[in-house]
């Protein structure tokens, strides 16, 4: 394998790397429990809370992602777990032990930083050995552990390099090796991929995910990138202005969002105003686009609530029509954009403008601006949800 390590990442890792990874596996992945966790910067009484009384249970071995726009409190939450911020109120437990007062350097957690935070004055080896030396391990043991960690990240040839002599992706892996070599109970990531270029970012996603599976280590990952969250996580915690909007698997969050914010933040969504005809326990009958539809609904939706119908761009169905007037099921193409793997339309309908994505445009009839179309959607994928008073 000629392999720069970047490309080696995507090809089949060799047995040596795999066995190195196995020996890095954590013995006891930690369980992290947050209860009524609050953080107020500045004055406790007058300051604005960055995190508002959140509860969260993170299972041992789970890969959980804190996702949200900037200022949503995700990084603050992570830093409280790491011990870099002191909670204003509430508790953080690790395996049933309250660790609020445990100093950050005494917590069995390791963090990978957005900037990697490699020590620029130390070699790769010394960076990875840093924490082990602080544990006063015998130097032979340190060398052995560091070699294993470097091998597992395919960094063996770089042990004597300085951080600035390495590419971003390599630095990222040194940071990961430095964290993993500590055998932490919990691995923390603070937007670790945001400094990488797009292609490398996609590779590292898969790499980190595979590694995490293999090691079985509890992992808390902070990002504002929904693709990262969707592809890597067991569960996603969607946060907004200091509160948790939803905690669920990527699929559930995408298909059955708990709020308009979540639906809008994860993927893209059309929100249709509908006439509610009937609300059942497991769904609802609604009228929109000139038809009656049987759709799924959020459990909280009850008869008489203010609701909106979420339809993902890819579940809208378009077909040609002879009609020449917008109304009922008929819409008109306002614009179209060609993405290669998909084509995207902006469609004017009586229920508002819809964003529509049609996959594999070569296989379908394509439309142009001004075309009149018959517009519908897949009932099973539409989702009726409540509109909270404070969200638009």
* Site residues (vs other proteins, CB under 8 A): 22-23, 25-29, 61, 82-84, 94, 97, 99, 101-111, 113-115, 117-123, 130-132, 134-135, 137, 145, 148, 162, 164, 175, 178-179, 181-185, 188, 215-216
Do 250 and 233 touch, CB atoms closer than 8 A? yes
Nearest distance in Å: CB 222, other proteins: 13
Token representation of residue 183? 């055998």
Question: What is the 8-class DSSP label of residue 164?
Answer: G
Q: Between 190 and 314, whose beta carbon lies closer to other proteins?
A: 190
Q: Which residues contact 88 (CB under 8 A, 6 or more apart)?
A: 38, 39, 40, 44, 49
Token representation of residue 207? 């790499």
The sign of the dihedral angle between the CA atoms of 123, 129, 135, 140 is: negative
Token representation of residue 282? 């497991």
Nearest distance in Å: CB 124, other proteins: 10
Nearest distance in Å: CB 93, other proteins: 10
Nearest distance in Å: CB 322, other proteins: 57
Nearest distance in Å: CB 13, other proteins: 18
Do 278 and 269 touch, CB atoms closer than 8 A? no
Do 33 and 60 touch, CB atoms closer than 8 A? no
At 321, phi and psi to the nearest 5? -145, 160
Q: Between 122 and 387, whose beta carbon lies closer to other proteins?
A: 122
Q: Between 15 and 27, whose beta carbon lies closer to other proteins?
A: 27
Distance between CA atoms of residues 200 and 210, nearest Å:
15
Q: Please, where are the H alpha helices in 168-305? A: 168-180, 198-215, 226-232, 250-255, 260-265
DSSP-based three-state secondary structure for 20: helix
Nearest distance in Å: CB 169, other proteins: 17
Nearest distance in Å: CB 383, other proteins: 36
Distance between CA atoms of residues 12 and 18, nearest Å:
10
Question: Strand pairing of 89-94 and 97-98?
Answer: antiparallel
Q: Between 41 and 339, whose beta carbon lies closer to other proteins?
A: 41
Q: Between 187 and 382, whose beta carbon lies closer to other proteins?
A: 187
Distance between CA atoms of residues 312 and 292, nearest Å:
18
Q: Between 148 and 270, whose beta carbon lies closer to other proteins?
A: 148
Nearest distance in Å: CB 378, other proteins: 40
Q: Between 120 and 370, whose beta carbon lies closer to other proteins?
A: 120
**Three-class secondary structure assignment of 117-145:** CCCCCCCHHHHHHHHHHHCCCCHHHHHHH
Do 120 and 171 touch, CB atoms closer than 8 A? no
DSSP-based three-state secondary structure for 9: helix
Q: Between 181 and 272, whose beta carbon lies closer to other proteins?
A: 181
Nearest distance in Å: CB 190, other proteins: 8
Q: Between 27 and 198, whose beta carbon lies closer to other proteins?
A: 27
């Amino acid at each position: 394998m000629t392999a720069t390590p970047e490309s080696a990442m995507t090809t089949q890792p060799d047995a040596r790397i795999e066995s190195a990874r196995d020996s890095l596996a954590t013995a006891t992945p930690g369980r992290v429990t947050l209860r009524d966790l609050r953080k107020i910067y500045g004055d406790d009484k007058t300051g604005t809370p960055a995190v508002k009384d959140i509860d969260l249970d993170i299972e041992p071995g789970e890969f959980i992602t804190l996702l949200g726009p900037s200022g949503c409190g995700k990084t603050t939450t992570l830093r409280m777990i790491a011990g870099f911020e002191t909670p204003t109120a509430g508790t953080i437990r690790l395996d049933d032990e309250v660790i609020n007062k445990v100093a950050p350097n005494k917590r069995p957690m390791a963090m990978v930083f957005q900037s990697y935070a490699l020590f620029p004055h130390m070699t790769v080896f010394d960076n990875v050995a840093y924490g082990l030396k602080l544990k006063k391990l015998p130097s032979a043991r340190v060398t052995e552990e560091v070699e294993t960690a470097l091998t597992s990240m395919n960094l063996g040839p770089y042990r004597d390099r300085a951080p600035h002599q390495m590419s971003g992706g390599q630095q990222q892996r040194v940071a990961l090796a430095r964290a993993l070599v500590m055998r932490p109970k919990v691995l923390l990531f603070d937007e670790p991929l945001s400094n990488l270029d797009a292609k490398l970012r996609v590779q590292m996603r898969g790499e980190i995910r595979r590694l995490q599976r293999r090691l079985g280590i509890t992992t808390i990952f902070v990002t504002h990138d929904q693709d990262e969250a969707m592809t890597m996580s067991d569960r996603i915690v969607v946060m907004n202005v200091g509160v948790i909007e939803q905690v669920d698997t990527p699929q559930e969050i995408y298909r059955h969002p708990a709020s308009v914010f979540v639906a809008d933040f994860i993927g893209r969504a059309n929100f249709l105003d509908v006439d509610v005809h009937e609300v059942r326990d497991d769904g609802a009958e609604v009228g929109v686009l000139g038809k009656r539809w049987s759709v799924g609904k959020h459990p909280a939706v009850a008869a008489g609530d203010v609701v909106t119908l979420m339809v993902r761009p890819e579940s809208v169905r378009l077909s040609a029509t002879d009609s020449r007037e917008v109304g009922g099921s008929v819409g008109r193409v306002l614009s179209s954009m060609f993405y290669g793997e998909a084509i995207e339309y902006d469609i004017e309908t009586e229920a508002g403008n819809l964003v529509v994505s049609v996959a594999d445009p070569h296989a379908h009839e394509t439309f142009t601006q001004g075309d009149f179309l018959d517009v519908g959607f897949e009932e099973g994928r539409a989702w009726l949800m409540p509109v909270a008073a404070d969200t638009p």
